[in-house]
Chain A
Amino acid sequence: MEFQAVVMAAGRGSRMTELTTGCPKCLLPVGNVPMIWYPLNLLKRNGFQEAIVIVPEMAKNEVSEARIDTKVDMKLDIVTIPSSEDWGTAESIRYIKDKIKVDVLIISCDLITDFELHQLADVYRTHSASLAMLLAPVSLSLVNAPAPGQKGKHKRVRDIVGIESHTGRLMFVNSEADFEENVPLRKFILTRHPVVQVHSDLMDAHLYLMSKWLVDYLVENENITTIKGELLPSVVKKQFYHSKTEGKNDITNMKASVTSVDPKKDIHSHKKTGEWYDLLSELSTRSNQWGSLDDCYHGDQVRCYGYIMKDGLCVRANTLGSYAEVNRLIPKIWDSVTGNSERPISASLSRSKSQGGDDSMIGEGTNIADKVTIKKSIIGNHCQLKEKVKLLNCVIMDHVTVEEGSTLQSCILCSNAFVGKGSELKDCIVGQQQRVMDLSKLSNDVILEIEKFIEI
């Protein structure tokens, strides 16, 4: 086994709390299947037989009830993290450290893509990298997708990614908020990597390949809480610095002598290369840069690479807007992002006199009355759509009832929601088990049980 897959599904969905109050983020339906099915399907397609899935404790039952493992036919090791903790991604990895025996593939539960993992793995293997990450062009339609129930626009914090274009070596990966006025770059780094492409239009897909030793490093450095925000920028930065005590792994860090804290190893002492590797690089005449006869990679032991997706789809359903937009897109992109998996069972519309197009999906056991119009909408299982209901751009989860003559546009209805007769809703979110009165006219509203909302 070359890589162990870890699916990070313990996110709280902090950017879509309206939806995650009643349902763990990883189980929110996208195209009538739980979101987490997509990354698992991706792994399955690429030959993974098992995966570790990290979920929050409170979602454990729901996750096991959802029987994801049989849906994707993989052996899943579901790990729960205590709900009292609000752990970052790095902390979660630290928590499962004992399970990690080889290099890991870390994937987020909200990633929906038609990417072929081997492309990233090839980069990782070619350069015997320490870390490789997938970067994808931000699709503007997703970022700017109007989020129902929200007024005003979210300001997106972009990532600034510096990458050497012909090798894919990462020069720096930071959020724009990490910088003040200037972006500094050391001259000697530029000397070695003279052409750096800086992108601000890329999205971190949260798909990483990571060396085992980096996990060990993570275990030892407990102040690192997140992979994206902390581990990644610092490891990328440290690539270019060599350990002073190269070759002597056990020498403790100089810093330790000042204060009497436990001796801490620095990052380079974690990287274990092994005799063969050293011998190989010593005997090899290969030089992989232009214009100089330096060693491969200038002797850098730690190497981070990025792979920029050139075409294809890569979306993350991590905000309200993108969640709604992904749902709208899914009927069209289903085949490509799932590798032609069978679509979830669709109720046929033919027997009713309703209208609905290919741009919609309708779940099992849903009753659709006459003269219902459905456009660009996802409708879950066991829903009741009464006569003359009009749906446009909606996401409707399971067991939702929409009464006669209601018109819904760009709304998200969580499971067991109820919309009364003759209502007109636009850009609204109706929370779990919430009722919308007859003849309501709402736009840009969020209907939630207040206490619950605050508690989260």
Chain B
Amino acid sequence: MASSIKSSNRKGKTDEVIQQEDIIQAVVIADSFNKRFAPLTVCKPKVLLPLVNRPLLDYTLEFLSINGIQETFIFCCSHAQQIKDYISKSSWSNPDSHMSVTTIVSESFLSMGDVLRELDSKALIRSDFILLSGDTVSQIPVRDILLKHKKQQQKDKGMVMTLVFKKALPKHKTRCLEDECVVAVEPETERILHYQKVGHKKKIEFPLTVFQENNKVTLRYDLLDTHISICSPHVPPLFSDNFDYQTRDDFIRGVLINEEIMGNTVNLHLIDDGYAAQVSNLTMYDAISQDVIKRWSYPVVPDLLSLPGGRYSYLRHNIYKQKDVVLERHCILNENVVIGRGSKVGSRSSIINSVIGHDCEIGSNVHIDGCYMWNNVKVEDGCILQSCLLANNVVVKKGVTIHAGSVLSYNVVVGPDITVKCSTLLQAEPPSVDMDEFGDNETLEPSDSIVVDPNLVGAEGKGFLFHSSCESDDENDEFPKDIWGQTCQSGSEGDETSVPDSVEELSDGDSPPPDDLRLFYSEVLDSLLRGIEEKVKWENLVLEVNSSKYAYNVTMKEVNTLVMKAILEIPKQGSQKPLQPQMYLVALKPLLSQLLPLIKNYMKSKESQLDCLSALEEFGIVNEELGVIIMKVLHFLYEKDVLSEPVILEWYSNPPVLGDVDPAEQDLLRKR
């Protein structure tokens, strides 16, 4: 590694641009300002959580140091002291380290925006700098991107930020669902014209002006947000000027909106090869751990990193072992397994796709798939663990099954012989003690009142359910969340591809008239259903139907037919199976009396009565089993003076095109 540092230094000297600026600075934000890793982050800062047995912050700092960054500022907020201590003890604060690391602490930071405002007020920044979060795993040549940023800035003075994205197709495992975004880029200058988070949207809208003002625009949905950005010295003042900028997204949005006024622009840099990702939540923790084990992030792989406890030896099938690992007879390390120093695996246990920390003890007949165990974890015999995270000192007693997505925080004990459900978050401290990092305190209840629930953690267990509810109010629900252990890519795509139900999807290309009618019909049906439910006055219903009529541009004739049809349809709505005629009639009767004024309103003239009759007839034909009803309805309407006799007779003598007049004939005979 030393050689790689040297080489990048040499490169720096040959490079004129860099020389002028002397040193390159980086700003690391060591707080994610969210609680996605709770309860693990309750007593430890997120950046110090281990990923493949190494604190996250080390990945970030080493990434910067390999790239020849000379000065790094770490901004910390929660658990700042721990980070400070960690840095002061680590090799980063060695006097001969070529990168100086300064920690800046303020408990008052609530967002990335605050950090950058602080940066501005302290005037620490001399030139373009790299902004990233303290949980970045990467090996990209960020220095080259910085140079490119400088070059582009010479061309375009207003360019203030280069966002680094990695190419990753949709559904890529390392794409974070919360960061899904679509970017419109000008292909030649790589200027970002439009940036949009996808969130739950099914339809993504791009402003037309983007395409009108640019001859060529590339829309990209193949991006993985690395959260690494190259910023100009103008960026911190921009944050100071705009107090509402909380996040980088706010900033990008602001810059794009004010582009014409301020003249600032944001560029995109796409990395094709190379690895960069941010451990933003548990799903990403899982995905990135696997990437590291499977060597996608080479040279950031366990056997090449300096890790506490000595080097790892790399065996085939991506098995990594440190010293003093004890593997008993018949235990199987399938593939993609990292085992830390002093850990022990019992006989007939199998491990796959997992990381095991230092001094862990795994009993016999244990099956571990996709789990992350930190240090001193004890798993007793016969357990089955699936995709879960066990923090330091967790004890899993014998015969426990843990389902996917569960997190057992420090010192939790579960078992014996229980099953932990999917996505269970457990912590050793009673939950009522509000561990809110930001100190917005809710009432602190006495913790004694809460007892360990043996159904949850087992007879000898120790642990409490962690409630993530307090999280949801400061997170916006606008974005889908990755839930670890669940494939949350909703399968809605399947039905989307079939011809959409509501025809509006297709209607702007061509709107054949039946579609309008259909929409109108469904609207009328809805109005009536609601009207009946809420006992809306018939005048208002008429008003509603009429306004629908204008909205869909439907002729009066069709209105008459469809209104009648809808009324007849209503009793069928409730039940799934075909109704018996008697039942149907029972349901229809009160309905007809309730809606009588409405029917009367529409069926005034002779023509409209004819329409009504043909609707009745059609209904009778379509629903054969209800054919008998038609005459009853007819009779009812006749008695209520909706339909006049001459009209019925005329209708009878000139049966409209539909042909099947059998029931109608009977009607008339009986009526006579």
- Residues on A lying within 8 angstroms of B by beta carbon are 158, 160, 162, 165, 176, 178-188, 190-192, 194-201, 221, 223-224, 230, 233-234, 237-238, 240-244, 255-261, 264, 266, 268, 290-292, 298-299
Contacts and interface: CB of A to CB of B under 8 A. Distances in A.
A241 B498 contact: yes
A292 B171 contact: yes
Contact of A264 (B493, B498, B512): B512
Contacts of A260: 618, 658
Given A223-B512, A291-B170, A292-B169, A185 B493 contact: no
A103 to B, nearest CB: 22
A160 B218 CA distance: 12
21 contacts: A165-B218, A179-B208, A182-B207, A183-B207, A186-B203, A186-B204, A187-B203, A194-B169, A197-B187, A197-B219, A198-B217, A198-B218, A237-B509, A241-B500, A242-B497, A243-B498, A264-B514, A266-B499, A268-B499, A290-B169, A291-B170
Nearest to A192: B170
Interface stretch (B16-24, B49-57, B515-523, B663-671): B515-523
Contacts of A192: 170
Contacts of A224: 510
Contact of B499 (A158, A233, A242): A242
B81 to A, nearest CB: 44
A194 B222 contact: yes
A423 B558 CA distance: 66
B221 A195 contact: yes
Nearest to A267: B499
B468 interface: no
Nearest to A262: B514
A439 to B, nearest CB: 47
Instruction: Name the prevailing secondary structure of the B interface residues.
Output: mixed
Contacts of B508: 178
Given A242-B499, A243-B498, A258 B514 contact: yes
Contacts of B658: 260
Contacts of B513: 223
B499 A182 contact: no
B208 A185 contact: no
Given A180-B208, A198-B218, A238 B202 contact: no
B144 interface: no
Interface residues of B, number: 52
Contacts of A162: 219
B208 A183 contact: yes
B208 A261 contact: no
Interface string B651-672: 0000000100000000000000
Contacts of A299: 497
A191 B221 contact: yes
B624 to A, nearest CB: 14
B221 A243 contact: no
Nearest to B519: A258
A188 B518 contact: no
Interface in B55-82: none
A261 B518 CA distance: 12
B517 A223 contact: no
Given A240-B497, A258-B518, A234 B506 contact: yes
B198 interface: yes
B215 interface: yes
Nearest to A185: B204
Contact of B170 (A180, A185, A190): A190
A200 B212 contact: yes
B217 A197 contact: yes
Given A186-B203, A195-B218, A201-B215, 18 more contacts: A160-B208, A160-B211, A162-B219, A176-B212, A180-B208, A182-B207, A184-B204, A186-B496, A187-B198, A190-B170, A194-B222, A198-B216, A199-B216, A200-B212, A234-B509, A238-B509, A241-B505, A291-B172
A176 B210 CA distance: 12
Given A181-B208, A183-B206, A291-B169, A255 B219 contact: no
Contacts of B170: 190-192, 194, 291
A241 B499 contact: yes
Contacts of B172: 291
A446 to B, nearest CB: 31
Nearest to A187: B202
A353 B506 CA distance: 66
A195 B518 CA distance: 35
B637 interface: no
A246 to B, nearest CB: 8
A191 B180 CA distance: 11
When A and B form their complex, which 9 residue pairs have the shortest distance between CB atoms, in order from nearest? A291-B169, A234-B509, A201-B215, A182-B205, A194-B222, A194-B221, A190-B221, A191-B170, A196-B219
A255 B518 contact: yes
B514 A256 contact: yes
A243 B499 contact: yes
Contacts of B218: 165, 195-198
A186 B203 CA distance: 4
B203 A184 contact: yes
Interface in B495-551: 496-500, 503, 505-506, 508-510, 512-515, 517-518, 521
A258 B499 CA distance: 17
Contact of B510 (A194, A199, A230, A268): A230
Nearest to B657: A260
Nearest to A244: B498
Contacts of A221: 510, 512
Contacts of B509: 230, 233-234, 237-238
A160 B207 CA distance: 12
B200 to A, nearest CB: 9
Interface in B206-236: 206-208, 211-212, 214-222
B578 to A, nearest CB: 16
B498 A176 contact: no
B89 interface: no
Contacts of B169: 194, 290-292
B449 to A, nearest CB: 48
Contacts of B216: 197-201
B220 A194 contact: yes
B271 interface: no
B203 A185 contact: yes
Interface string B182-202: 101001000000000010011
Contacts of A261: 514
B622 interface: yes
Contact of A257 (B204, B503, B622): B622
Interface string B352-368: 00000000000000000
B221 A158 contact: no
B152 to A, nearest CB: 21
A198 B198 contact: no
Contacts of A160: 208, 211
Given A158-B212, A188-B493, A201-B215, A259 B558 contact: yes
A184 B508 CA distance: 11
Contact of B202 (A186, A240, A242): A186
Contacts of B187: 197
Nearest to B213: A200
A195 B220 CA distance: 5
B208 A198 contact: no
Given A186-B203, A238-B506, A198 B512 contact: no
B564 to A, nearest CB: 13
Contacts of A185: 203-206, 219
Nearest to B561: A259
Nearest to A202: B215
A234 B208 contact: no
Contacts of B505: 241
A150 B611 CA distance: 55
Contacts of A188: 202, 493, 496-497
A388 to B, nearest CB: 46
A259 B204 contact: no
A234 B514 contact: no
Given A194-B222, A242-B498, A258-B521, A237 B506 contact: yes
